[in-house]
Structure 1
Amino acid sequence: MSIDNQVVVGMSGHIDHGKTSLVQALTGKNTDSLDQEKLRGMTIDIGFAYLEDKVTIIDVPGHEKFVKNMLSGSTGIDIAVLVIAADDGVMPQTKEHFEILKLLNIKNGFVVLNKVDLVENDWIELVKKDILDLTDSSFMHNTKIIETSVIEKIGIDDVKHQIIEMGSTIPSKENTGLFRMHIDRTFSKTGFGTVVTGTVSSGSVSVGETVEILPGNQQSKIRNIQTHGRDVDKTNIGERAAINLNNISSADLSRGYHLSKPKTYQQNNSFIAEISIIDKNKYSIKSNQRVRVHLGTKEVMARISIIKNNIESDQNKVMALFKLENSLVCGIGDRFIIRQYSPVVTIAGGIIHDITRDKVWKEIKKLALDFIGKNRYERLYSIVSAIPSKKPLEYRNIENYLNMSKIEFDSILSNDDRYEIIEHNKISWVVTKANTKLLIESIKKFISDYHTQNPMIEGCNKKVIGQKIKIEENFLTFLLEKMKNNKIIKSNLNFWSMYNFSLGLKDKDLKYKDQILSHLKENDFIDISNNDFFIKNNINKDVFYGIVNYLESKNEIVKIDSNIFVSLNKIKLMKKLISDFFKVNESLSVPEFKEMTNLTRKYAIPVLEYFDKINYTYRIDNRRKLSEVLNV
């Protein structure tokens, strides 16, 4: 019988129930490595030993004061061994440890009834009944109870055999593909420098690779790696690892820090999570309640905002927003434990469904409710669907945003045709086909409505479309071109219109068009800064604006500013006069322009400013020069 994958075995239970002695009997190693631990005769910090190459045994502290240390060691456990002393039976920390194991979603385990040499058989049977009551309706339901005595060497081989047998059936861990390790110890070793230890919770890393240290966003190259007490070139998910970091002081690191592939994880201040309460009749979770969040090897305080109670008709399940008092390195799919602020007892566990980033409460609530009842892949689809089009998800940011490797995400893409990769202008976005369809429909509706409101304007400017529908500029360009290629819309210069749209004036307005053109032919300019033009020509303002917009889109007139219009022919003539002037002059003054065009200052200044605006000329002090672009 062999074990193919790395297996982590967690020894948990009440103080003085013999966990450390049992580990020593199994492995030959005393995991009470600190002088303080040996002096007290109890485990204060987490200890580690190796049963064989593929099996790591974690000895977690049983004293209630050190439950947070126990939580640090419980991350990544595959097999839980609940150690109960026969003379004490089920004790308070036995129950709390067992609840924590359940909340961390551990699937495999068994019970060791230790110190059986100290009690009679009748007492052993009573304790076994209590154990069965404790483990009923859990992952240890009807589990094997192995009787042991370290002193009398009873049952040690049975425990070892049970670990090997159970370990051989453990499937591969759920792997995001990104290297990640929560640091539980740091120290400095002479000749090597800083060493950090922890359990690799996902991915793998090799000597020579660069890792990111959070918090602090420092990067360091790996000098050396040890697993199971041996130097190795690479460490993988599930392994206990000691990693030697280059150019990092151990004084700058401590338990609670986080190692990962660079630019894949970040510190966050809030997240959406599904909570499982141990017993709602005993413990309650309310909005704005202050709690302790334990994730990886870190503890932070947080406030809870309840989004929905009794999800999936389970009174012990809650969907909530966690607002952290201090930032925490966390990602989608992370499991954590919740303890009361005071008294400090474990009350619930949770799994992170999404990082809130810059979402507002309305968006957070909508997304959280959408998560209910969905599996990991459906929640992922909901997350991508909820990303706003004004800032679509770029493929290069997949690892940081979704906390999974590009390889894993590519595998999802190959099996789920609801996603698509859009490429434009050297940018790749990950979007859902449904969202793309909705955006195209929104653009169609906006342009159609624009035509209804502005029947004499050839189309809508792209910038206006982007502002109204809130789409990132490059992404909008892609969508517009896609719609154009499919003959949904068309474009003329920067005006976008429906494919079948055509400009047209109502018959009753044709006479006003002729009046406007006739006036420009005779006077070159129309000034509407007062109402004289409208009064003299008996024309309504709204009709006038519709006609001049129509004529402007047909390139028959030019709008100089909000009040002045000029014929296109006059603009062309003035441009030629300016061009000829600059053939023999370096700069142009307002008086010189007035003289060459026979314009009064009323029109000369706006015309020159218009030429500056379209980059035909540019102003230096009180003179103009011809644009360098036009001089090329």
Structure 2
Amino acid sequence: MYHIIGTSGHVDHGKTALIEALTGINADRLPEEKKRGMTIDLGFAHFFDDEGIPVGVIDVPGHERFIRNMVSGAWSLSVAVLVIAGTEGWMQQSEDHARVLEAMGIPHIVCAITKTDLIDSDVLEVAREMAREELLRIFNKKIPIIGVSSVTGDGIEDLRATILSLLKQDDRSEHHESGYLHIDRVFTVKGSGTVVTGSLSGGSISQGDELTILPSGITTKVRGIQSYHKEVEMAMPTSRVALSLQGVKTGSVSRGCIAAIDPNEFQVEREFIIQYEVMEDRKIRNHMEVELATGTGHYIGKIHFLRTEGYARLVLDEAIAVSWLDICLFIQRGGYHILGKGRFIWSGETGKHFRNKFAQIVASYPIGDCIEDESALRLLINGWLKNTTSRQKRDLKRFLTKNDISYRIIDEVIILEEVLLGEAQRLRQMASKSGGVTRAEFLQGGLVPDAVDHYLIERALVTYQITQRDQVYLSPEQIDGDYQLSKLGKKIMKQLENTRDRGVQLKEITDEGARGELRNLIRIEKVVPLEGDIYFTRERFDEITDIILKGRNTGDVFSIPEAKDRTGLSRRYIIPLLNKMEEKHMVKRDGDARVVL
């Protein structure tokens, strides 16, 4: 298994020299760094473990002005080496860097007391004791402390052995199933084009793979891969990689972007709900403008506290790509103090109703302690979930069973029983309204996938909770009597009953809302519409069609005059009536005659 470690600590406390002693590589790469004599950006090196597997090493800057670069290098570390010079001991930047490492959730920390060749044993012991107290306060656990000299080599092998031992204990869970990297450098190489570097996580990346650059969504292919100064066809996580990208200009990608095999494992948004914690002795005010550091990027936005303690809404000036429980740090705007830490819980705009529901859910099912996967939270928020992976289905089943939550699976959709019952009740209510409801109308107002609502309609038909008439679904009570007829509906029915064979034309009904009421009466099959805005009661329409068809068998032919003679209706009424019979598949046209179906 591959790993990446990194150094952290006060400027001039010997981080770069320590890395060179461990790896034989001087990680300072920029002329400006050589000139200044200090690391100002990320430097990279590596050494090999006992099995010959490379261990990546990131040298992060120690100066307070470059705290953002330090955060950029720390996100992928399995082990962080906090460097403290024995000649100076614990200092403010030691405190700041230790807080960053704790906030970012680095799995393992080891402390290296450097420059032991310049101090005696008593001074070294004082430095150890001071570091031990401070580290216990910040990390709330014992941290290995090793004295080393990059000049004489004393303690270097002990430090290496301790690091390798901690790497074997690394059991971090990975939320991603495919390869991705937070880009920390972008440059051009003659003959290779645009090259990006980063720490590969999640899964492997191979030459020829298609990648998506987030948040822009640009797609590209991997032309070549270099890992630890070797050309490789496939790189494994977690390792340092340089990728040569096809068809991407350097201006289209920058530090902070993500290169991902599967972009669907990330959400690109400006607004988020986060779980946050303020650093000791620091303050974050409601609606405060902050600088956010996550992955290898940093961004500007505002933080708005939610009523639920420890949660806030974060609105950034630009869209970024994040995934569930990604860690972020808040940096003082225009300064270098770390104000707090957070984790991304939800992506996208959230209205007041949503935030109230979110608060209720996390109060009952705390994030981390109870909800361990984003799919569980989305299921509780939305009431349903589809297109889940086999792992998500397994985790969801365990979560739902453990918390005694009733659910059902319908056509690959996991839906909470209470949500399903709510949709069934909505169907009954809509079908009980005057005029009932069409399938399209019911689907339009649904809060669940169409497949679930289709299932509910079919179940309701089987159990006689609704009845279908043409394209309309009605409660069974509406088919007979004057169930839920409005005052106007009853008036129209009375008028139609009085006119009998003459029917009623729309223009004869002068009441406001007559057209809408007639539509409802038609849908519940109490009225039959004919061409020319002529309306009959369903009862009279059935009586007339019975008269026309009486004594005739399937395939018999009759003429329009014969129909007129039987019914006594004029051509003005008989033609629209025969056309309606044809529409209902009672007869079909054969020239001017009609054939009984």
Q: Secondary structure at the match of 1:111?
A: strand
Say whether residues 1:12 and 2:3 are aligned partners: no
Which one of 392, 395, 407 corresponds to residue 409 of structure 1? Answer: 392
Q: Secondary structure at the match of 1:183?
A: strand
Q: CA 1:249–1:177 in structure 2 vs 1: closer, same or farther (change >3 Å)?
A: same
Segment drifting more, 106-115 vs 185-194: 185-194
Q: CA 1:512–1:15 in structure 2 vs 1: closer, same or farther (change >3 Å)?
A: closer
Q: Secondary structure at the match of 1:184?
A: strand
- Stretches of structure 2 that go unaligned for 5 or more consecutive residues are 401-405, 484-488, 549-569, 584-597
Structure 2 match to 1:298: 297
Structure 2 match to 1:49: 45
Q: CA 1:379–1:344 in structure 2 vs 1: closer, same or farther (change >3 Å)?
A: same
Could you tell me which amino acid in structure 1 is paired with residue 6 of structure 2? G
Say whether residues 1:384 and 2:376 are aligned partners: no
- Stretches of structure 1 that go unaligned for 5 or more consecutive residues are 312-317, 399-405, 532-540, 577-595, 615-632
Say if 1:110 and 1:140, in contact at 8 Å, map to a contact too. no
Q: What are the Cα deviations for residues 147-192 of structure 1, in whole angstroms up to 9, with x where unaligned?
A: 1111122101110111111111212542321322110011222222
Structure 1 match to 2:499: 519
- Structure 1 distance, partners of 2:207, 2:572, is 80
- Structure 2 distance, partners of 1:166, 1:445, is 62
Could you tell me which amino acid in structure 1 is paired with residue 318 of structure 2? N
Q: CA 1:340–1:526 in structure 2 vs 1: closer, same or farther (change >3 Å)?
A: closer
- Structure 2 distance, partners of 1:410, 1:232, is 36
Q: What are the Cα deviations for residues 121-163 of structure 1, in whole angstroms up to 9, with x where unaligned?
A: 3322222222122111454722221011111221011101111
Q: Secondary structure at the match of 1:165?
A: helix
Structure 1 match to 2:317: 325
Which one of 456, 469, 473 corresponds to residue 492 of structure 1? Answer: 469
The Cα of 1:268 is off from its aligned counterpart by 1.3
Say whether residues 1:276 and 2:246 are aligned partners: no
Say if 1:339 and 1:346, in contact at 8 Å, map to a contact too. yes
Q: CA 1:544–1:347 in structure 2 vs 1: closer, same or farther (change >3 Å)?
A: closer
Say if 1:528 and 1:564, in contact at 8 Å, map to a contact too. no
The Cα of 1:225 is off from its aligned counterpart by 1.6
The Cα of 1:286 is off from its aligned counterpart by 1.6
- Structure 2 distance, partners of 1:547, 1:510, is 11
- Structure 1 distance, partners of 2:275, 2:480, is 56
Q: CA 1:484–1:153 in structure 2 vs 1: closer, same or farther (change >3 Å)?
A: same
Which one of 416, 435, 458 corresponds to residue 419 of structure 2? Answer: 435
Say if 2:300 and 2:316, in contact at 8 Å, map to a contact too. yes
- Structure 1 distance, partners of 2:184, 2:225, is 16
Q: Secondary structure at the match of 1:259?
A: strand
Structure 2 match to 1:582: none
Structure 2 match to 1:23: 19
Q: For 1:158-307, what aligned pairs fall within 5 Å after superposition? A: 158-264=158-264, 265-279=266-280, 282-307=281-306
Q: For 1:123-162, what aligned pairs fall within 5 Å after superposition? A: 123-139=123-139, 141-162=141-162
Q: What are the Cα deviations for residues 12-39 of structure 1, in whole angstroms up to 9, with x where unaligned?
A: 1000111111111011111011111122
Q: What are the Cα deviations for residues 528-563 of structure 1, in whole angstroms up to 9, with x where unaligned?
A: 4437xxxxxxxxx999998995576336532779x8
Structure 2 match to 1:361: 352
Q: What are the Cα deviations for residues 176-235 of structure 1, in whole angstroms up to 9, with x where unaligned?
A: 213221100112222222211101232332211100112332111111222222222222
Segment drifting more, 76-85 vs 54-63: 54-63
- Structure 1 distance, partners of 2:176, 2:260, is 12
Say if 2:86 and 2:119, in contact at 8 Å, map to a contact too. yes
Q: CA 1:496–1:58 in structure 2 vs 1: closer, same or farther (change >3 Å)?
A: same
The Cα of 1:325 is off from its aligned counterpart by 1.3
Q: CA 1:414–1:54 in structure 2 vs 1: closer, same or farther (change >3 Å)?
A: farther
Q: CA 1:505–1:440 in structure 2 vs 1: closer, same or farther (change >3 Å)?
A: closer
Say if 1:211 and 1:222, in contact at 8 Å, map to a contact too. yes
Q: CA 1:211–1:545 in structure 2 vs 1: closer, same or farther (change >3 Å)?
A: closer
Q: Secondary structure at the match of 1:386?
A: helix
- Structure 1 distance, partners of 2:516, 2:190, is 83
Q: Secondary structure at the match of 1:142?
A: coil
Structure 1 match to 2:367: 374
- Structure 1 distance, partners of 2:445, 2:221, is 47
- Structure 2 distance, partners of 1:201, 1:91, is 33
Could you tell me which amino acid in structure 1 is paired with residue 274 of structure 2? A
- Structure 1 distance, partners of 2:209, 2:16, is 35
Say if 1:108 and 1:139, in contact at 8 Å, map to a contact too. no
The Cα of 1:42 is off from its aligned counterpart by 0.9
Q: CA 1:441–1:183 in structure 2 vs 1: closer, same or farther (change >3 Å)?
A: same
Q: RMSD in angstroms over aligned alpha carbons?
A: 3.7
Structure 2 match to 1:73: 73
Q: TM-score, normalised by structure 2?
A: 0.80
Q: Secondary structure at the match of 2:353?
A: helix
Structure 1 match to 2:561: none
Identity of matched residues, %: 24
Say if 1:333 and 1:351, in contact at 8 Å, map to a contact too. yes
- Structure 2 distance, partners of 1:523, 1:348, is 77
Structure 2 match to 1:32: 28
Q: Secondary structure at the match of 2:372?
A: helix
Q: How many residues align?
A: 538
Say if 1:526 and 1:566, in contact at 8 Å, map to a contact too. no
Could you tell me which amino acid in structure 2 is paired with residue 490 of structure 1? T
The Cα of 1:484 is off from its aligned counterpart by 2.8
Structure 1 match to 2:558: none
- Structure 1 distance, partners of 2:56, 2:34, is 21
Structure 2 match to 1:589: none
The Cα of 1:494 is off from its aligned counterpart by 2.1
Q: CA 1:303–1:224 in structure 2 vs 1: closer, same or farther (change >3 Å)?
A: same
Structure 1 match to 2:453: 476
- Structure 2 distance, partners of 1:551, 1:46, is 75
- Structure 2 distance, partners of 1:474, 1:407, is 20
